[in-house]
Amino acid sequence: MPLNIFYKEDDFDCITSAAICKSKHSKSKLIPVKDQFPIEKVKRIDAVCIIGCCPEEFETLENIWNLASVLWIIDNRSEIKHTAETHNFKERLTFPSDILYDTSKSNCSMIYSFLNEGKNPNYFLTLVSNYVRNDHEDDNTLPFIYGLKSWLHLDLRDPQNWKRLVYPLRDADQKHLYELIQRGKHIKSYLEKENEKAAKKECFEMTFEGHKAIAVSRPYVSREFFDPVYNPKKHDLKVCFGIEYNMWKVIIYSDKVDVYKLTEKYGGFGSASTVLFRTKKLPKEFRLEGK
């Protein structure tokens, strides 16, 4: 039977993870998840892989487990770790079902090792993993991500190119991926100049849930967008927000605060360092400081 892969549709880590799984199981079905997990799409005897969008409620999780013939869960959110350990979920699953919930790792690194007998990801996937964990110690991390995004469709319409990233078997594949790093360095240089102008013009300070933040009214910017105006001694959070699909979309980044716990009441998705939530009405704190 084909594997049904449920993944968070607007999360780079989850998209990469789904591509890794699809590369290993070519006949699998990809099912993007926007907000709430669509349990109605899980049919009895399905083989199911859930990446980064696992329901937090144990009752819902148990229902999926009872329906699926095989259940793989890959999710690095702290809430999933808490749910799994509170209910001894890992111990109750029988092979080949399994759950991976290491909060210190990216989802894509966990699923790669899981599907490849414990092997570590290749260098390029390691750069992707570093990026989603906000680890930029390797200077090639951001350039590779910029080069990768300029080449690859992130909506999984390009399975052959994803496979070149996941399993670069030929010398030509290796050469191409290194060339993306060089391309990304030029993109990075350009973006840094443009970001600096935009950030200084558009960003403002606010307080959210008791934490000082630097914010911008845009539906999406990367955490690097804020660098020209972010002060780590002054700001705990980086916030972007804007209208998308007739709702407010809010993304919060932080290296100092567990933003997943901070925004728990808003029903967000993400990790301790990055969280996204949608709402019809913005919290009252989303205003210019002092206004």
- Where in the chain are the domains? 1-118, 122-201, 203-279
C-alpha 108/C-alpha 128 separation (Å) is 8
Quote the percentage of the chain above a pLDDT of 70.
98
CATH of region 203-279: 3.10.310.30
Task: Say how many C-beta atoms besides its own lie within 10 A of residue 195's C-beta.
Answer: 18
User: How is residue 158 written in tokens?
Assistant: 């390009």
Which value, to the nearest 10 degrees, does the dihedral of the CA atoms of residues 7, 9, 14, 20 take? 70
Residue 249: per-residue pLDDT: 92
Q: Residue 291: pLDDT band by 50, 70, 90 thresholds?
A: very low
Strand ranges of the sheet holding 211-216, from the earlier edge strand across to the other edge: 204-208, 211-216, 237-244, 247-253, 274-279, 269-270
pLDDT of residue 158: 85
Residue 36: pLDDT above 90?
no
Residues of the chain with pLDDT > 90, as a percent, come to: 67
Q: Which helix (H) or strand (E) holds 63?
A: helix 58-67
Flag whether pLDDT at 290 surpasses 60.
no
| Tens of pLDDT, residues 234-288 | 999 999 999 988 889 999 999 899 998 899 888 877 788 888 998 988 888 886 5
Residue among 61, 76, 110, 63 nearest 8 (CA): 76
Give the confidence band of 139 by pLDDT, cuts at 50, 70, 90: very high
| Gyration radius of the chain's alpha carbons | 20
CATH number of 1-118: 3.40.50
The whole model's pTM is what? Answer: 0.79
Give me the pLDDT at residue 128, please: 96
- The string of pLDDT tens digits covering residues 180-225 is 999 999 999 999 999 999 999 999 999 999 999 999 999 999 888 9
Alpha-carbon distance 13 to 262, whole Å? 21
Note the Cα 145 to chain centre separation in Å: 14
Q: Tell me, what DSSP letter sits at residue 261?
A: H
The pLDDT value recorded for residue 286 is 81
Handedness of CA 20, 26, 28, 29 (dihedral sign): positive
Instruction: Kindly state the average pLDDT of the residues 144-152.
Output: 95
